[in-house]
Amino acid sequence: MFATPLGADAELRPLEPWRAEEFFAHLERGRDFIGEHIGFADAAKDLESARRLLQSYADKAAADTGRLFGIWLDGVLVGGVLFRVFEVAQGRAEVGCWLEPAGVGKGLVTRACRVLIDHAIRERGVHRVEWQVSSANAASIAVARRLGMAKDGVLRSYSVHRGVRQDIEVWSVLAPEWGN
C-alpha cells in the first residue's frame, strides 16, 4: 500500500471511497472544528454523502484534475490534504488541508503539503501552486507562510460559508521559488 511517512508516528495515504466509514467517523469527531473553515465538513453529513465526496475525488484522481490524501497519526485518520484543483496543462494546482483537533500543532499539514507541492512541481511540472484560505483562518495562513508562499492578494467578500460572506486570501509558490 502507498504511504508516505510524515514522521515516526504519522503517514500520508490516498483517501479513497472504500475508507468512507473511517472518513465519516473522523469528520464526526472533529466536525465543529473542521467545519469552522472547511465546507466539506458540512457536505459530508452522513455516511452516504461522505462516500460521495470521496468518490468525487476518486473521479478527479482518475481524470488527473484533483486528489485527496488522508493524514494518519498513530493509525487514526486525523486530517488530510488535497489537490482541490490540478491543471497540468495550465501549470497550476491548488492545495488545501483540514485537521481534527487531535492532529493540531504537530506540523502534519505543513509536512504533508510539502509532499504535495514537491510532487506537483518536481514530478508533474506544475509552475504555480496556490493556497486559498479564509482571512479568518489564522492557522491555515500560518501554514502558507511556513511553506514559503507569497500572499498574492485578497478576494474581498468572495465566498459564503455557513451563511457568512468571507474574504479569501490567495497565496502561492512558483516553481523557481520552491527550494524544499
| Angle, helix 47-63 to helix 20-35, in steps of 10 degrees | 100
pTM of the model: 0.94
pLDDT at 163: 86
Grid coordinates standing for 159? 465566498
* H-state helical runs in 88-137: 108-118
Q: What is the rounded distance in angstroms from the CA atom of residue 149 to the CA atom of residue 126?
A: 15
The domains found in the chain, sorted by start residue, are: 4-177 (3.40.630.30)
pLDDT at 102: 94
Distances (CA, A) of 88 to 64, 96, 114, 125, 128: 8, 17, 18, 7, 10
pLDDT at 84: 96
- Those residues whose C-beta lies under 8 Å from the C-beta of residue 45, and which sit 6 or more positions away, are none
Q: What per-residue string of b and e applies to 93-107 under the rule 16 or more CB within 10 Å gives b? A: bbbbbbbbebbeebe
Per-residue pLDDT of the chain (180 residues; tens, 9 = 90+): 589 999 889 999 999 999 999 999 999 999 999 988 888 888 899 999 999 999 999 999 999 999 999 999 999 999 999 999 999 999 999 999 999 999 999 999 999 999 999 999 999 999 999 999 999 999 999 999 999 999 999 999 999 988 899 999 999 999 999 985
- Those residues whose C-beta lies under 8 Å from the C-beta of residue 127, and which sit 6 or more positions away, are 91, 92, 121, 174, 175
Q: What is the rounded distance in angstroms from the CA atom of residue 27 to the CA atom of residue 44?
A: 8
pLDDT at 1: 57
